[in-house]
Amino acid sequence: MSDLLSSLNPSQREAVLHFEGPALVVAGAGSGKTRTVVHRIAYLLRERRVYPAEILAVTFTNKAAGEMKERLEKMVGRSARDLWVTTFHAAAVRILRTYGEYVGLKPGFVIYDEDDQNTLLKEVLKELELEAKPGPFRSMIDRIKNRGAGLAEYMREAPDFIGGVPRDVAAEVYRRYQNSLRMQGALDFNDLLLLTIELFEQHPEVLHKVQQRARFIHVDEYQDTNPVQYRLTRLLAGERPNLMVVGDPDQSIYGFRNADINNILDFTKDYPGARVIRLEENYRSSSSILRVANAVIEKNALRLEKVLRPTKPGGEPVRLYRAPNAREEAAFVAREIVKLGGYQQVAVLYRTNAQSRLLEEHLRRANVPVRLVGAVGFFERREIKDLLAYGRVAVNPDDSINLRRIVNTPPRGIGATTVARLVEHAQKTGITVFEAFRAAEQVISRPQQVQAFVRLLDELMEAAFESGPTAFFQRVLEQTGFREALKQEPDGEDRLQNVEELLRAAQDWEEEEGGSLADFLDSVALTAKAEEPQGDAPVEAVTLMTLHNAKGLEFPTVFLVGLEENLLPHRNSLHRLEDLEEERRLFYVGITRAQERLYLSYAEERETYGKREYTRPSRFLQDIPQDLLKEVGAFGDGETRVLSQARPEPKPRTQPAEFKGGEKVKHPKFGSGTVVAAMGGEVTVMFPGVGLKRLAVKFAGLERLE
């Protein structure tokens, strides 16, 4: 046991030694939560003699799952291979591949990504003769499914118009989209979890089998779970839960993806008597950075009490730069980075992708190499999606979206008019598009090219079940003239290199994981954009990314730019307390990415929607005591002004002078609470045990407690 516990602090040790029953581990930023989970699993295996096959650990990314597996293999050896370390979606795919027929799934179902969803939605909109873009409808579909409430319930609260069409028409878009998915033997990402829940609820015998495979459950980043993931976790945990959830409400930043912070805040209500363990020792950031982080996040009401304690003493002061405009802000960042050197140790974080352009421009002008996170992912590049489409059709010929993608890729003389007539025939007769292709001689006068294409697909379908992914893609390249077609394109050399990289990725996957073409396609579908390797980025490069993409990462030096009202907090978050608090958490996440050096900056003028506008510093900067910041000049040379001497943020005339937010108050009925917002003669107060209450200051009878 000594080797398991000797490197842990007392709180980590308490979490590791927890055996049965529910437990909530409130793990602050940089507090070693992954180490704690890994050691806890090793403890179950080595000291409690739990079978590896009875342990499930759920993370939010494939990368995190892979890192956890690697660390466990080093600690417990080969038995780690029998552990179920996975993501929610990967676990759902595994369950549905085994038991999907219980809910009407065909064995070869395919998983549609955003691009496939958009293509399908465009077809639905065309069928309904709607001149609308697919984006708003895809967002609507995601919200409906992530909430798990169903179409009817969502539509009761939906706005009158969605995507420019009445909501009853939008509901018909949803229904036709779902019907098209089923016709093509396809699921989108959200269906994976919803169908798994349906499977468990309708077939308790299947749930019981899976529960036997998951007696001890760990869920990482629990604050990021949405209602559907919450329901799935509750079902798996069952009536006698050995469930340990790990997370930090202060880092809940994915509300736009329907993550529900209440899942973690209410854990002890869901599981009365659950043990609560707080990991507050921070191993990442210097003391000066943590003081700023704590000062910011303590202003939020929707949180579990926690204070990060540094293990690194002292540290450089947090620097603040006030730029006259956005260009000068970008120039300042570039100058400081050149002075610092060590480009791979630096990250520049911002609220929106649009902010990256000026930063890229000034960094490249200063000959600083850049790695831009959030650009087009490898698996989204056209030539890669084309090759993957061949694989998807070979596994599931009913997939008409990918069938139409490859029908004339590379060109083989099958025109759009021919395809349209075959699709129309399929719709009229109620058959699949591929079946219509097979019957081409009954529909078109010159079916030879279509018949040759069908023969090619028949051969590839056979190859899909006889060979692994590497051999399959090589066969596609040989039999279709794919390489030769790419060579004719202006950027053909780059695209050919991407094709070779796909072959290497398939070969690496076969060596590490093994399995069929269908298994490889599942693996690709479950790989998030943010996890894809940036193969063309220089190693010695500054990382540019949004605050959302920075979650889970750390860098010796961090520049956090654009700290202005309407950017951070974002203009869309100013109307609801919950959204405003999430923006503050986003700022907190950015601060806690920094290990040694942190720069904060804002511009007094910025171009927005083509117009130059004067800005105000973010209200979150006012949360930081002045003595924790060192304001620097344009060339970073020493202290100049303190924040209070900068252009102050004007208060709305209607805001009550006596309340700004953060005050402790007492109400005659609701008891003690904390003011979390004040505007227009009203305050919003968080009362423990009661919740949020909006009160008119004039009549509320609030008494200040300090």
Q: Where are the alpha helices (DSSP H) in 526-601?
A: 547-550, 577-591
Residue 126 among known ligand-binding residues? no
Residue 28 among known ligand-binding residues? yes
Residue 700 among known ligand-binding residues? no
Residue 238 among known ligand-binding residues? no
Q: Select which of 145, 593, 597, 619 is catalytic.
A: 593
CA distance 287 to 348: 21
Question: Beta partners for 27?
Answer: 279
Residue 34 among known ligand-binding residues? yes
Q: Is the omega angle on the peptide bond into residue 410 within 30 degrees of 0, that is, cis?
A: yes
* 3-state SS string for 660-703: CCCCEEEECCCEEEEEEEEECCEEEEEECCCEEEEEEHHHHCCE
Residue 23 among known ligand-binding residues? no
Q: Select which of 113, 116, 191, 220 is catalytic.
A: 220
CA distance 493 to 499: 10
Residue 672 among known ligand-binding residues? no
Residue 32 among known ligand-binding residues? yes
Listed in sequence order, the residues at least 6 apart from 630 whose beta carbon sits closer than 8 Å to its beta carbon are 317, 318, 319, 320, 639
What is the chain's alpha carbon radius of gyration, rounded to the nearest angstrom? 28
Backbone φ/ψ region at 367: left (φ over 0), alpha (ψ -120 to 50), beta: left
> Is 251 a known active-site residue?
yes
| Strand-pair category, 161-162 with 165-166 | antiparallel
C-beta pairs of 424-432 under 8 Å, 24+ apart in sequence: 426/400, 432/183, 432/184, 432/397, 432/398, 432/400
Helices (H) and strands (E) in the chain, counts: 29, 26
> Is 33 a known active-site residue?
yes
Q: Select which of 13, 33, 40, 606 is catalytic.
A: 33
**500, 514 in Cβ contact below 8 A?**
no
CA distance 110 to 677: 47
**253, 237 in Cβ contact below 8 A?**
no
Q: Select which of 113, 123, 191, 221 is catalytic.
A: 221
Per-residue b or e along 234-272, where b marks 16 or more CB atoms closer than 10 Å to that residue's CB? ebbbeeebbbbbbbbbbbbbbbeebbbbebbeebeebbe
SS3 494: helix
CA distance 61 to 56: 15
CA distance 334 to 339: 9
> Is 299 a known active-site residue?
no
> Is 593 a known active-site residue?
yes
Q: Select which of 34, 119, 474, 534 is catalytic.
A: 34
> Is 221 a known active-site residue?
yes
Residue closest to 85 by CA, chosen among 45, 46, 49, 112: 45
Q: Select which of 196, 233, 251, 527 is catalytic.
A: 251
User: Which residues belong to the active site?
Assistant: 33-34, 220-221, 251, 593
Annotated binding site for ATP: 27-34
Annotated binding site: 27-34
